[in-house]
Amino acid sequence: MDEVQDLVHSLHHLRVFEVAARHRSFTRAAEELNVSQPAVSLAVRQLEQALGVRLFARGHRSVSLTQAGEMLFADVSAGLGLILETARLLRRQGRQSHVTLSVSTAFANYWMVPRLADFHRQHPGIDLRLQTTDKDLDLAQEGVTLGVRRGDGNWRGYAAAKIAEEELIAVASPHSPAAQAEIATLDDLATQQLIHLEEPFRPRPGWREWFTALSGDYSDRGGGLRLNDYALVLQAAMAGEGIALGWRHVVAGLLHQDLLVQVGPWCWQTATAFHLIWSREADLPTQAEAVRDWIIETAQADKR
């Protein structure tokens, strides 16, 4: 405890020493610190007495660092630099007035937006902003707080919490011909008008992988609507354009509202999942922690 107290008492002296050593001048140090030159000289002398070594060799009108002074200057400069960087980071976090969540357009439309009223009711003081993207972003580089990503949960530099297993079912509008057709087997399903997702930057399993996983035969004849955004795929399915693959956690609300129906009993649960991620480089601000916890708790409630 005595060492800690001595260090606290010496912080002022170390700061004065760092400025004097950087300028190699007590006079210029006094100008930067807005104190008198004798005050700088006194602080340095008291630090030397506390350490039991000389830090400066004093000339007629100049000072230079001794070997001990050079050693201390290197460590004090590095330490103060680290403290300054941490203080800047904390200040940025403290000033952050909003939380940005990066998600796909479909997740934003069909998972987040229907639940925003509940979020704002629980957290009226948090400014949550949704940023839709068609690719997996570098959150820190893009200035994004949280993101949703598909994978195994292991990404270098990120912490992750699973929010949904990847479960794929066939869905269509209840008013579409596909919903009225007699589809008893996967072969029956394969003859229907299928809607295809072709994302250029974020590969997703498609009909071929789905049929293969469920031991069905499928030959892509090149027909059917092909879209590069999953939100558009679901819009097309609701408009009666055919049968789409439905990620269960995304389409659950649409099924509940009878905007879509499941076609057949088949479901493929893949080996991957969807995760909420955030950077490990720094602690999350309090508001971001609240958003993170709310998403995780809400996703867990959906599974019950």
Q: Is CATH 3.30.450.20 the classification given to domain 97-304?
A: no
Which of 3, 17, 16, 25 has the alpha carbon at shortest distance from 71? 17
Q: What is the pLDDT of residues 251-287, one digit of tens each?
A: 999 999 999 999 999 999 999 999 999 998 878 889 9
Alpha-carbon distance values, 204 to 114, 164, 228 (Å): 24, 15, 11
Amino acid residing at 275: H
pLDDT given at position 91 = 59
pLDDT given at position 58 = 87
pLDDT given at position 1 = 42
pTM: 0.67
277 pairs with which residues across the strands? 147, 160
Name the residue ranges covered by the structural domains of the chain: 2-95, 97-304
Q: What is the pLDDT of residues 8-48, one digit of tens each?
A: 457 888 888 999 999 999 999 899 888 999 998 998 898 88
Taking 70 as the pLDDT cut, the residues of the chain under it are: 1-9, 87-97, 221-222
pLDDT given at position 128 = 95
Domain formed by 2-95, architecture = Orthogonal Bundle (1.10)
In angstroms, how far is CA 178 from the centroid of its own chain?
A: 40
Q: Compute the distance between CA of residue 237 and CA of residue 149 in angstroms, rounded to an integer.
A: 24
pLDDT given at position 90 = 63
